[in-house]
Amino acid sequence: MTMPPAPPSPAAPAGRRGAGYLCGLIFLLIAVAVYAPALRAPFVFDDHPAIERNASIRHLWPPAVPLSPPVTAAGAAGRPIVNLSLAFNYSIGGLEPLGYRLANVLGHAAVALLLAAVLRRALAQTRLRRRAAPLAAGIALLWLVHPLQTETVICIIQRNEILVAGFFLAMLYGLHRTAESPQSRRWPVLTAAACLLGMASKEVMATAPVVAFLYDRTFLAGSFALAWRRRGHLHLALAATWLLLGWLVLGHEQRAGTAGFGVGLGVWPYLLTQCDAITTYLKLAFWPHPLVADYGFQTANHLAEVAGSATLLAGLLASTVLALWLRPAAGFAAAAFFALLAPSSSFVPLATQTAAEHRMYLPLAAVLTLAVVGIDAVLGRHRRLALFTVVLAAAAATVKRGTDYRSEERLWTDTIAKAPDNPRAYASLGAALIQQERWPEARGQLEAAVRRHPGYADAHNDLGAVLGKLGLPAEALPHYLEARRLKSDDPDIRANLGGALVAAGKPDAAIGEFAAALALRPADPALLSRRGDALLQAGRANEALQDFEMLLRRQPEDAAAHHNAAASLGVLGRPADALPHLTRAVELQPERLEYRINLGDALQRAGRTSDAMLQYEVAVRLRPDLAALHYNLGNLRLGAGAVAAAAISLTEAVRLQPDWVPARHNLALALMQLWRPAEAVEHYAEIGRLEPTSASAQHNLALALAAAGRNREAMAADETALRIDPGFSAARRHWAFLQGR
């Protein structure tokens, strides 16, 4: 059964364009209102690798950089348009989540407006043509505020769904305008461009050329033959965009081994799992509770486990085929639903997420269209009140759901409550607690994740890190080893195991792990630095220096690399070569205390005492509460003959650490040189109290007492020194001298 071809439409009058602008503004205001509670939510889930750890978004120029996301960029990998949009956000606001989320909300409102435009034109070709505009606006509004959309809008990296939906609808809109204006050259070009950009946004676009051809047959031409005759060249152009999608998919290593065939998840278990997933999506479209941020990676293995869902889907698919013949418009909506879900919810395994609510972003429009049109026909004059009530209830639910994203801890606690068997929810909560340095609580959550899924490599890896922070390196190491066994091709796991081996005093074993990580991620600056540290600890300073020099060739402004290169040169007995590296490290990070101290020590060894004192003076200003800094500065001043200044520094060292004998001794020595023996007596007496078995302490006290004119007390101090050490000749001579006075 076919439909008559759509008649050409004149250009939209100014009044209609004004109504469109007003509708867009209303949609935007409503979107901001319902998502306001989540606008300042932190990055969550895949936002971390896609944004925080994605170096390719740090620069907009040259364009090849943001258009070439790494395979580790999660939802941006293999999707250059998504990555470019993130780069624009970064150029404006850095890593502040608010700007990214506002962009998502703006995009969501724009897609809703496009949806209304496409629906209005499509419905105008059916028996509902008189009510096409209000129906389209109502469906788009309900779609805009539906709670099932929250994950897509709030999780920033899910803007890939927003972008691909926008380009998908723009393609259909352009196709319709092409049919209305067959002489126009602009609309075919824009239609093909939208399809091409969609292919560069997400793999969901794979079915777009097929859906476009079906749309043409259903709403524009009336038959496939006529659609091909009139717009065959355009449909060929749309199909040609598959070449870009194929190139992107093949060039991104099966999305870092998480999608496609041969990723450790069989086709049949994944297909079975999608039966339950799709029926869950349909249920959530009509009753959006409970909404779950992460459904985990569990799969069904036998048809009996999903028999009910499979039967329902088989019936829906059969009804869709029948409707395409008998009721083409309704059949198109149903077919579009299945086509949009097909790339992610059919037989191509996605190992890390077997189900996800964001996959319903655009498919939800097809479900709502069928539902609203059906209800509209049944309720008659009560339809407006019914739609208003449903929209209001949906908006309220979306506002409430948005509050769950205000913190990662809250989100994952909610997920665990709704999906208590999902190990990744526990691991994600553990990771959120790690960020807050709540180590014992993080340990509990990660142990729960490992109990539920012993083969969860990332949970073992994080648990090892937590145990290390809790001072339990012996317990941490087995988890790192298990993580490596489960996921030996993960450079982060190999590097973390290397760090644990260094902490366990096994730098030689650690070197091998860092080398394996570098083989997986060549010339990674952090890995080069960590291997260099391990080589240095293993006594292989020459090899360590090679790593640090390689790092400096790539990152000449890396202060830590300069500092570590200096350490290597020091071990190799090349202090003169180390000094420029230490100087540069301090220039690059003038607030780094360790660098200043080491530079000061190096300058002192080089005989540049005045320069060394300058470094320690700055170090004291940076950390005035550290006694050791005052002590070292005092000693430098004492050696340089600045005795009064030395006394000031040493006095502060003693104030900060009263029981530090060397500091008291040097302070007393400075006071003696300043001819302030009475003050020196106080410090020597305290040293004698702290070290009651030290003969030299008593003798020094005797010298200070004698200088202060307290001869009898001085003789008593010498006598005490001689009782401790009868062979102490200096004390005996001094006692004899005092006795002869």
Encode pLDDT of 71-128 as tens digits: 889 999 999 999 999 999 999 999 999 999 999 999 999 999 999 999 999 999 999 9
Question: With DSSP H G I counted as helix, E B as strand and the rest as coil, what are the percentages for the chain, rounded to 5?
Answer: 75, 0, 25
Going by pLDDT thresholds of 50, 70 and 90, the confidence category of residue 20 is confident
Residue 482 pLDDT = 97
Considering the domain boundaries, does residue 68 fall inside one? yes
Please state, in angstroms and rounded to a whole number, the distance separating the CA atoms of residues 292 and 283. 13
| Most confident range, picked from 11-15, 42-46, 191-195, 247-251 | 191-195
Q: 490 pLDDT exceeds 60?
A: yes
Considering the domain boundaries, does residue 295 fall inside one? yes
Going by pLDDT thresholds of 50, 70 and 90, the confidence category of residue 14 is low
Tokens representing residue 363 in the block: 């498919």
Count Cα neighbours of 276 within 13 Å in the Cβ-side half-sphere. 17
Q: 7 pLDDT exceeds 80?
A: no
Going by pLDDT thresholds of 50, 70 and 90, the confidence category of residue 548 is very high
**Integer Rg of the chain from CA:** 37
Please state, in angstroms and rounded to a whole number, the distance separating the CA atoms of residues 618 and 475. 41
Going by pLDDT thresholds of 50, 70 and 90, the confidence category of residue 27 is very high
Backbone angles phi, psi at 259, to 5 degrees: -140, 145
Range of the domain at 320: 18-258+267-379+390-398
Considering the domain boundaries, does residue 418 fall inside one? no
How many domains does the chain divide into?
1
pLDDT tens per residue across span 445-473 = 999 999 999 999 999 999 999 999 999 99
Considering the domain boundaries, does residue 619 fall inside one? no
Going by pLDDT thresholds of 50, 70 and 90, the confidence category of residue 12 is low
pLDDT tens per residue across span 182-213 = 999 999 999 999 999 999 999 999 999 999 99
Considering the domain boundaries, does residue 714 fall inside one? no
**Smallest Cα–Cα separation from 342: which of 284, 274, 388?**
274
Considering the domain boundaries, does residue 458 fall inside one? no
Q: 252 pLDDT exceeds 90?
A: no
DSSP structure class, residue 259: B
Nearest 10 degrees: CA dihedral of 110, 115, 117, 123? -170
pLDDT tens per residue across span 580-614 = 999 999 999 999 999 999 999 999 999 999 999 99
Considering the domain boundaries, does residue 634 fall inside one? no
Share of the chain above pLDDT 90, in %: 89
Q: 11 pLDDT exceeds 80?
A: no
Residue 438 pLDDT = 97
Cα four-point dihedral sign 315, 319, 322, 325: negative
> Global pTM?
0.81
Residue 661 pLDDT = 96
Average pLDDT, the chain: 93
Residue 592 pLDDT = 95
Considering the domain boundaries, does residue 506 fall inside one? no
Q: 619 pLDDT exceeds 80?
A: yes
Is residue 34 within 8 A of residue 127, CB to CB? The reply is: no
| Count of Cβ atoms closer than 10 Å to residue 689 Cβ | 10
Average pLDDT over residues 37-42: 95
Average pLDDT over residues 507-526: 93
Amino acid (one-letter) located at 461: N
Give the residue with greater pLDDT, 478 vs 13: 478
